[in-house]
Amino acid sequence: MNRLNTHFNNLKNKNEKALILYITAGDPNINTTFEIMKALAENGADCIELGIPFSDPMADGPVIQRASTRALKNDVNVDLIFSIVKRFREHFQTPMVLMGYFNTILRYGMEAFVDTFKKAGGDGLIIADLPYEEGEDFENICKTRDVSLIYLISPEMGSERTRNILSVTDGFVYCISHYGTTGGESKTENLDGIIDSIKSMTDLPVAVGFGISTLQQARNAGRIADGIIIGSWLIKELEKTNDKPKVASQFTKTLKQAIS
């Protein structure tokens, strides 16, 4: 059981909702990324999802694409990201998840990637373009290292495929709130029913992401799910300011209070 499992169990025992916040590693630079991570951890984030910048991010909308472009221009690479995870872990126990695309992992080497991430202090991985049907080898690598592999679950009522994906997902369930890319307006109908259907098939906590961009949407999602995941909205706020850690601090406090 890693930090992710332990922390979500503690939240459940306290009847609290999880606030999971996404930022792109290296945007606007690696040192500022670390300061933003500190601000999130110090002000109530329950998990930090750190995006690995990628040139062709098929699951990401324009906001996160802009963030990836800025990071890639700074020559951010996987080893730099691992170093910032390690630096963060020296000061904080907040669960840390990397989100990225499978080509990055294949190029690095699957076992080497997971081993290095685990040694740095990482807890979970979200691979947006890894289909369940092709994931068995990587699942086994993650499982033997106690790194949670978190699959994305589409917003549909229960199916046999959903049940199969849930059986190999660990840490928490990432339920996307609408079909499409990150940051798009959430238009999913019957999200209550979708969450209920997922919960009937797993004991894992269920977090909702993709498209939460207002306090009311955050409250609504937090009412029915065990946690919420926010990325594009936070990055938009960070784009507006030079004092990014300060804005990240206030953003985190406000969201945590809204879902409490």
* Other Cβ atoms within 10 Å of 230 Cβ, number: 26
Per-residue confidence (pLDDT) for residue 184, from 0 to 100: 43
Per-residue pLDDT of the chain (260 residues; tens, 9 = 90+): 689 999 999 999 999 999 999 999 999 999 999 999 999 999 999 999 999 998 876 756 788 889 999 999 988 999 999 999 999 999 999 999 999 999 999 999 999 999 999 999 999 999 999 999 999 999 999 999 999 999 998 877 667 889 999 999 999 999 986 444 444 454 556 778 888 889 999 999 999 988 788 999 999 889 999 999 999 999 999 999 999 999 999 999 999 999 98
Residue 65: what pLDDT? 87
Quote the pLDDT of residue 180. Answer: 45
Helix 78-89 to helix 30-42 angle (10° resolution) is 40
Token pair listed for 201: 């098939």
Answer yes or no: 237 catalytic.
Answer: no
Task: Name residue 208's beta-bridge partners.
Answer: 175, 228
Q: How far from 176 is each of 94, 97, 123, CA to CA, in Å?
A: 23, 17, 21
Check which CATH number belongs to the domain holding 52 and give it.
3.20.20.70
Of residues 96, 99, 100, the one with CA closest to residue 46: 96
Please tell me the predicted confidence (pLDDT) of residue 159: 79
**Domain count across the chain:** 1
pLDDT of residue 8: 94
CB 118 within 8 A of CB 145: yes
Catalytic residue among 27, 49, 170, 226: 49
134 is known as an active-site residue:
no
Beta-sheet strand order (sheet of 18-24):
148-149, 124-127, 96-100, 47-51, 18-24, 227-230, 206-209, 173-176, 152-153
**Beta pairing, strands 206-209 & 227-230:** parallel
Instruction: Report if pTM > 0.85.
Output: yes
Of the candidates 5, 22, 217, 34, the one whose C-alpha atom is nearest the C-alpha of residue 124 is: 5
> Domain range holding 240?
3-259
Which residue out of 35, 42, 46, 60 is catalytically annotated? 60
